[in-house]
């Protein structure tokens, strides 16, 4: 080998520097144009075949402004970003891939640039990792920064402040609006080269909308649960989820992987569904026994609580109810040869105490056996009144025998579920005062519901409102590939919910006969029926309350378990009125009002009703509605609607390209601010 010690200033890339060497005898020394150090690449491709390497140029004889290079290992080509001056030096470039990236160069490079001239200001450039074009830069207002060695990127939340003087705001904000709205839902669907299959599976992404003094502060971050940390460490999906098969954990030996086929899955703590206030704490929830307490200002993960310390169960609803004293009520399921539904109460930890947020005061109220112990029903929420839990045991069932062997079969929990339209709905009434099931059997025709609105008792009847699906199938419309192809707006979609009402008689007269409609004397039946059957059971027929399809029903929670009038919801897609966004249903008059979004391809998240202080009517207040955009040219925004008139009072633009749709939101009033 012959190595040239000096390189002529006239030498160019591709030149053989031994061309004038009389004793080269076949040796060559080709001048390259991509001399660099600090190589970085997409770490999601670590230990796998990859294509791109980035690095900091170390200085070049013929092109002294070269700063950062991107090398295409497949094509053996390169792209270069040029710094401002030859005497500047680029530090190690850090590649930050965008969420849900598919190609390894989707993202940005963060590159600090060190200056040696005292008249220059050091800066950080943000480069497009695909094109190597500069997207932005930040000046660092100090004379020098050291070059240093290496860098490391950590994901933190980003906070945006938007006030009423900003161009990102229009309208006005009520002066009494002081509080924090949290939104929960899946936000990360791809980890390196592995992808979640179902919408329910993504990593929890918590958003914070904080309102005070006419300003909105927006921040968001991924919930750093144990599931999140395991997946990030492995750089692939290794934790269990609803509809995605896990990928082998590279940290496990072959024997550990084999054993995992015969070991029950550890419950999820990826709390991506909803929230609940417990005393002076707020918890993120999913449908596993785990709940996660968070800091509502920093969105930090504070602690994980395992409800199996207090109750024997396998799943626990993410939709708690609370009473006027702040006590919480929930329903769970215990699986096995004698599967049962579990009814529980958690006493408010602040009763008799100045502070507290624990679940230690959780108690079992009772259990009810499943109609088919090997095929218990799946439910997402329940109704509650002053005296009763109302649980729909629907035809959406879980094959427990398949669940037991799902790891060995390579099946997901979703694939262990099925919908049997030949089954009726068993309406379970559980007396929460006397702690026992109501003996009389109550049924209805087949349907499924994700979300209940309010329930209450009146004149010896129980009124239950809910968004009803005639046949949801196996939730295949929510498989991500299907959603991307328009499953939620197609003509053949199965998930078409409508608000319905069921009225259940609590007592049956001794003079009633089989075939009698037990609602015949009910002045507010409005088409609902409850037919007494030969075996003494009651078969209920519900009635549709609104012809606009919507989900995420919300109402004035001060009227919880009481007679009420208004329900609000996010319109689930309307073929004839594609810009319909949020609906207000007047249950008394059977009428509705609609707020229209800007474009048909936008999606309204769950509307949150915030009643004004000292309200007397349940629609006195505002609705907070984040609007998610699907067009890259649109900017997501939050609208503030007058809850009485459904007119827009104000909106805040959120200056980032996308917001995940998410599931549920929770408002924490903070009048002390």
Can you tell me the distance from the alpha carbon of 520 to that of 505, in angstroms, rounded to the nearest whole number? 11
Can you tell me the distance from the alpha carbon of 38 to that of 395, in angstroms, rounded to the nearest whole number? 59
Question: Per the annotation, where are the binding residues?
Answer: 319, 380, 451, 664
From residue 93, alpha-carbon distances to 33, 102, 261, 303 in Å are 18, 21, 42, 35
Can you tell me the distance from the alpha carbon of 148 to that of 114, in angstroms, rounded to the nearest whole number? 10
Q: Using the Cα atoms of residue 158, residue 161, residue 166 and residue 170 in order, give the sign of their dihedral.
A: positive
Task: Give the total residue count for the chain.
Answer: 673
Provide the β-strand partners of residue 209: 181, 218
Burial of residue 20 (number of CB atoms within 10 Å: 0-12, 13-18, 19+): exposed
Residue 310 makes CB contacts below 8 A (sequence gap 6+) with 344, 359, 360, 362, 363, 364
Can you tell me the distance from the alpha carbon of 24 to that of 15, in angstroms, rounded to the nearest whole number? 14
Q: Using the Cα atoms of residue 440, residue 445, residue 447 and residue 449 in order, give the sign of their dihedral.
A: negative
Beta strands in 578-647 (DSSP E): 580-586, 591-596, 603-604, 608-611, 621-628, 637-642
What are the φ/ψ torsions at residue 517 (nearest 5 degrees)? -90, 110
The helix/strand/coil state of 152 is coil
CA 615 to mean position of chain CA atoms:
31
Can you tell me the distance from the alpha carbon of 340 to that of 371, in angstroms, rounded to the nearest whole number? 9
Question: Per the annotation, where are the binding residues for Fe cation?
Answer: 319, 380, 451, 664
From residue 147, alpha-carbon distances to 63, 68, 71, 89, 122 in Å are 21, 15, 23, 8, 11
Residue found by looking up tokens 């049962």 in the block? 340
Cβ atoms of 310 and 289 closer than 8 Å? no
């Amino acid at each position: 080998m012959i190595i040239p010690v000096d390189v002529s200033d006239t030498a160019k890339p591709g030149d053989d520097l031994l061309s004038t060497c009389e004793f080269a005898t076949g040796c060559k020394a080709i001048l390259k144009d991509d001399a660099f150090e600090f190589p970085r690449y997409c770490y999601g491709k670590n230990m796998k075949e990859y294509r791109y390497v980035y690095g900091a140029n170390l200085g070049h004889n013929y092109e002294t402004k070269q700063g950062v290079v991107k090398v295409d290992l497949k094509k053996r080509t390169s792209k270069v970003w040029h710094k401002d001056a030859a005497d500047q030096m680029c530090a190690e470039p850090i590649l930050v891939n965008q969420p849900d990236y598919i190609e390894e160069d989707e993202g940005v490079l963060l590159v600090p640039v060190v200056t040696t001239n005292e008249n220059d200001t050091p800066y950080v450039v943000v480069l497009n990792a695909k094109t190597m074009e500069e997207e932005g830069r930040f000046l660092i207002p100090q004379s020098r920064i050291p070059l240093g060695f290496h860098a490391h990127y950590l994901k933190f939340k980003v906070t945006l402040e938007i006030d009423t003087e900003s161009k990102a705001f229009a309208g006005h904000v009520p002066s009494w609006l002081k509080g924090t709205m949290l939104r929960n839902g899946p936000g990360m669907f791809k980890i390196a080269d592995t992808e979640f299959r179902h919408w329910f599976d993504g990593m929890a992404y918590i958003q914070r909308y904080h309102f005070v003094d006419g300003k909105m502060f927006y921040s968001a971050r991924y919930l750093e649960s144990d599931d999140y940390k395991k997946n990030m460490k492995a750089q692939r999906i290794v934790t269990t989820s609803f509809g995605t098969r896990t990928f082998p954990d590279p940290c496990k030996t072959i024997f550990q992987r084999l054993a995992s086929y015969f070991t029950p899955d550890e419950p999820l703590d990826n709390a991506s569904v909803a929230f609940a206030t417990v005393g002076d704490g707020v918890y993120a929830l999913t449908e596993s026994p785990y709940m996660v307490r968070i800091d509502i200002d920093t969105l930090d993960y504070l602690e994980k609580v395992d409800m199996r310390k207090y109750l024997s169960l396998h799943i626990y609803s993410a939709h708690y109810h609370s009473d006027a004293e702040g006590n919480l009520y929930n329903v769970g399921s215990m699986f096995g040869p004698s599967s049962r539904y579990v009814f529980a109460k958690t006493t408010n930890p602040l009763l008799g105490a100045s502070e507290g947020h624990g679940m230690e005061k959780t108690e079992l109220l009772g259990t009810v056996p499943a109609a088919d112990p090997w095929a218990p029903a799946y439910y997402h929420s329940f109704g509650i009144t002053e005296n009763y839990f109302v649980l729909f045991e629907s035809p959406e069932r879980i094959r427990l025998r398949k669940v037991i062997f799902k790891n060995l079969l390579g099946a997901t929990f979703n694939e262990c579920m099925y919908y049997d339209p030949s089954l009726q709905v068993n309406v379970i009434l559980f007396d929460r005062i006397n702690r026992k099931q109501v003996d009389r059997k109550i049924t209805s025709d087949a349907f499924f519901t994700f979300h209940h609105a309010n329930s209450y008792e009146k004149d010896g009847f129980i009124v239950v409102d809910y968004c009803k699906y005639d046949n949801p199938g196996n939730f295949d419309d929510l498989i991500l590939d299907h959603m991307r192809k328009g499953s939620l707006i197609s003509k053949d979609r199965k998930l078409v919910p409508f608000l319905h009402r069921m009225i259940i008689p609590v007592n049956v007269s001794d003079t009633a006969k089989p075939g009698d409609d037990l609602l015949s004397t009910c002045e507010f039946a409005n088409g609902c029926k409850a037919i007494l059957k030969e075996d003494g059971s009651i078969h209920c027929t519900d009635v549709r309350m609104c012809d606009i399809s919507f989900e995420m029903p919300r109402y004035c929670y001060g009227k919880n378990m009481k007679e009420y009038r208004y329900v609000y919801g996010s319109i689930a897609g309307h073929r004839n009125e594609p810009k319909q966004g949020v609906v207000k249903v007047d249950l008394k008059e059977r009428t509705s009002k609609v707020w229209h979004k800007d474009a048909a391809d936008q999606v309204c998240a769950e509307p949150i009703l915030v009643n004004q202080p000292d309200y007397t009517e349940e629609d006195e207040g505002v609705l907070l509605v984040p609007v998610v955009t699907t067009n890259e040219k649109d900017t997501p925004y939050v609208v503030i609607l007058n809850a009485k008139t459904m007119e827009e009072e104000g909106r805040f633009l959120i200056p980032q390209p996308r917001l995940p749709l998410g599931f549920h939101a929770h408002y924490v009033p903070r009048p002390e601010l």
